[in-house]
Amino acid sequence: MTLEQAQAFFERYRDAFNAGDGDAVADLWHSPSAITDSRDGVARVSWWGEDAPMRANMQALCGVYRDVGPHDWMFELRDHVPLGLNHAFTHVAWTLKRSGGEVLPQFCTGYQLAKLAGGWKVLFCTAYQEDLSETRQHAAQ
């Protein structure tokens, strides 16, 4: 994956989140796939062996962001490591901004990507900074 391909992939990913389209987000993930995050100081892994639970998660996540009100996601590729022609690791800085300009949570996330029959997909995500409880505090304010 080239840097340009990574930029284009995350533009599609951002646009799907900005549209609140959980299915479009899920379409950019492979099945099976997984995500790890940290809650209560403990790393946790959610493994999605099938499409349906992963898709439900992405729809719920879009719902959390939709509750914030009109917003825009912005991103910056911090690091991009091509791993041959069909794999890459990308470290992304995300900023959630309300339409009025208020910056909400900012965080970084790592993604392991692979080029599969359906195109580039997320295989594994490390959401080591995102705190959804913080985002929920901004809902409907």
CATH code at position 115: 3.10.450.50
Strand order in the sheet with 103-116: 42-48, 29-39, 119-127, 103-116, 87-98, 71-82
Q: In angstroms, rounded to a whole number, what is the distance separating the alpha carbons of residues 21 and 29?
A: 13
pLDDT in tens, 69-80: 778 999 999 999
Cα 13 versus chain centre, distance: 7
pLDDT in tens, 45-96: 999 999 999 999 999 999 988 887 778 999 999 999 999 999 999 999 999 8
pLDDT score for 103: 81
Q: Which helix (H) or strand (E) holds 65?
A: helix 51-66
Q: What is the mean pLDDT of the chain?
A: 90
The boundaries of the domain holding residue 98 are 3-137
The angle subtended at Cα 106 by Cα 22 and Cα 17, nearest 5°, is 15
What domain count does the chain have? 1
Going by their DSSP bridges, the two strands 71-82 and 29-39 should be labelled as unpaired
DSSP class of residue 140 equals: T
Please, which pLDDT band fits residue 100 given cuts at 50, 70 and 90? confident
Going by their DSSP bridges, the two strands 87-98 and 103-116 should be labelled as antiparallel
Q: Is the pLDDT of residue 137 over 80?
A: no
Q: Is the pLDDT of residue 136 over 70?
A: no
pLDDT score for 69: 78
